[in-house]
Amino acid sequence: MARPKRQETILAILARKDKQTAQEILNNSKTVNEIKMGRGALFLGLDELKEEGIIKKDEKTKRYSIQSEIKNKTLHKLQNFNIEDIDPNDLVNGIKETGTPFEIGYVLLRSAMFNLSKLTLEQHSPGLTKFEKDKFERLIIHHNKVIKKTFEGLEEIDFNQTLALKKALDMGITIPQFELKMFAKANNKEIRKGIRIFKHK
């Protein structure tokens, strides 16, 4: 038996991005339907889906999310960090305001690229549910946005230094233990600075 359209609309919105308030779901209903969902249909659909155990509501944040078990270890680990809640634009603006935008940018890009490689490898794992496949796709898109926006933000500060950072990232990815070897050559002041930057990770 097909679900009522109000339920399908809510699930479609939450499938794109988990953890949305009722108002956000209402606002985003236009993105999946030609006509925005009415407030009455929204709350009726929310109550029905909650009763069925399909979605849950965080009473502290008032946000709704799909109640779906994630078995894939990589996805489960990244899910706990709520990476999708990070706005790439806000992140880049925060980097620009620091006194060390390129050092912070390097750590951010290195982490995002590392996660992206794991996501890309794992997204075609056998036995994934549709929810897990959709989650992988959204996380990959989000990580690519973070990488793109970070490079754009750093290029606005200093284009040549951004090119140097790209080269360092390439070496860090392709040369075995490159970062460990560079760390071994650092003096005490550089080591303290590196530890301080790492804490932003």
Provide block-wise average pLDDT over 10 residues at a time, the chain (201 residues).
82 83 91 83 92 86 81 73 69 78 82 85 84 82 88 91 86 61 49 47 41
According to the model, what pLDDT value does residue 201 have?
Answer: 41
Ranges of each domain in the chain: 5-66, 73-198
Which pLDDT score, from 0 to 100, does residue 185 have? Answer: 46
Counting beta carbons within 10 angstroms of the beta carbon of residue 112, is it exposed (0 to 12), middle (13 to 18) or buried (19 or more)?
Answer: buried
What is residue 44's predicted lDDT score, i.e. its pLDDT?
A: 94
The whole-angstrom separation of Cα 6 and Cα 9 is 5
Q: Which pLDDT value is given to residue 199?
A: 45
pLDDT number for residue 186? 44
Question: Is 5-66 a domain of CATH 1.10.10.10?
Answer: yes
Q: What is the pLDDT of residue 183?
A: 46
Which phi and psi (to 5°) does residue 58 adopt? -80, 110
Q: Please, is 68 exposed, middle or buried when counting C-beta atoms within 10 Å of its C-beta (0-12, 13-18, 19+)?
A: middle
pLDDT of residue 188: 55
> How far apart (Å, rounded) are the C-alpha atoms in residues 2 and 14?
18
Residue 197: predicted pLDDT: 45
| Dist. CA 201–CA 180, nearest whole Å | 17
126 with 185: CB under 8 angstroms? no
Strands 55-58 and 20-21: unpaired
Give the model's pLDDT for residue 200.
44
